């Protein structure tokens, strides 16, 4: 099925998936900018150090390590770790779609299969029939997008709380209530 036709059949799902794919980097950037605001790093130094690394997991590991220097003295280590854990789960959400092919299951279902899943199979591949099939439903996509928004709000709260502890200008933000991780779209 042509891409245009497929996404015309599931426009709401396609729009949310597009936002999840593109907004993930903004969450990483949010973490980095938080480190500039409270840590011993310059904007130039931290952007180059983090974003020259390939792979989201490696970047998050480095962000976690470097961020501790700014947040530990403020007694916000657990909160910073939670924020990074939230981003890491957003990474999992994003990655389930990032290397996938999508299709219309000739009905009400928008399906996808992750190419990395099929590549890890040990049996000789003849076609896509062994690709694990996943279904996407709009309710789950809304939950996933809401989790991205929660993660962003959590970082906004965290940086303002850190600024307050540093006696710097800040906004009084309420810590967002903890949000349950939404399910991934698995077979």
Average pLDDT taken over every residue of the chain: 88
DSSP calls for 73-130 = TTT-HHHHHHHHHHHHHHHHHHHHHHTEEEEE-SSS-EEEEEHHHHHT--SPP-SGGG
pLDDT at residue 1 greater than cutoff 70: no
What local confidence, expressed as pLDDT, does residue 157 receive?
96
**Cβ–Cβ < 8 Å for 160, 173:** yes
Residue whose tokens read 């396609």: 14
What local confidence, expressed as pLDDT, does residue 126 receive?
76
User: For residue 11, what pLDDT band results from cuts at 50, 70 and 90?
Assistant: confident
Q: What is the pLDDT of residues 90-123, one digit of tens each?
A: 999 999 999 888 877 666 778 888 888 778 878 8
User: For residue 186, what pLDDT band results from cuts at 50, 70 and 90?
Assistant: low
What local confidence, expressed as pLDDT, does residue 179 receive?
96
What local confidence, expressed as pLDDT, does residue 6 receive?
61
- What DSSP designation does 181 have? P
CB atoms near residue 80 (< 10 Å)? 24
What local confidence, expressed as pLDDT, does residue 51 receive?
87
pLDDT at residue 171 greater than cutoff 90: no
Q: What is the pLDDT of residues 34-93, one digit of tens each?
A: 888 888 888 999 898 898 867 889 999 999 999 999 999 999 999 999 999 999 999 999
pLDDT mean over 154-180: 93
Q: Percentage of residues in the chain with pLDDT exceeding 90?
A: 51
Q: CA separation (Å) from 26 to 71, 113, 125, 151, 152?
A: 20, 25, 37, 11, 9
Q: What pTM did the predictor assign? A: 0.90
- At CB < 8 A and 24+ separation, what contacts does 39-48 make? 39/66, 39/67, 39/69, 39/70, 39/71, 40/69, 40/70, 41/66, 41/70
Identity of the highest mean pLDDT range in 5-19, 25-39, 71-85:
71-85
Distance CA 15, CA 20 (A): 9
């Amino acid at each position: 099925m042509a891409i245009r036709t497929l996404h015309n059949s599931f426009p709401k799902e396609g729009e949310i998936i597009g936002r999840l794919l593109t907004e993930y980097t903004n969450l990483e950037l949010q973490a980095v900018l938080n480190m500039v605001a409270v840590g011993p790093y310059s904007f130039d130094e931290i952007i180059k150090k983090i974003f020259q690394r390939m792979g989201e997991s490696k970047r998050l590991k480095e962000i976690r390590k470097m961020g501790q220097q700014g947040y530990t003295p403020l007694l916000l280590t657990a909160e910073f770790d939670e924020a990074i854990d939230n981003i890491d789960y957003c990474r999992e959400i994003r990655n389930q779609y990032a290397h996938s092919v999508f299709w219309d299951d000739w009905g009400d279902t928008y399906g996808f299969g992750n190419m990395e899943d099929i590549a890890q199979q040990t049996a000789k591949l003849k076609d896509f029939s062994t690709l694990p099939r996943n279904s996407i439903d709009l309710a789950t996509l809304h939950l996933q997008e809401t989790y991205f928004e929660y993660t962003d709000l959590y970082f906004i709260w965290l940086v303002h709380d850190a600024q307050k502890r540093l006696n710097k200008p800040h906004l009084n933000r309420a810590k967002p209530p903890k949000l349950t991780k939404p399910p991934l779209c698995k077979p």
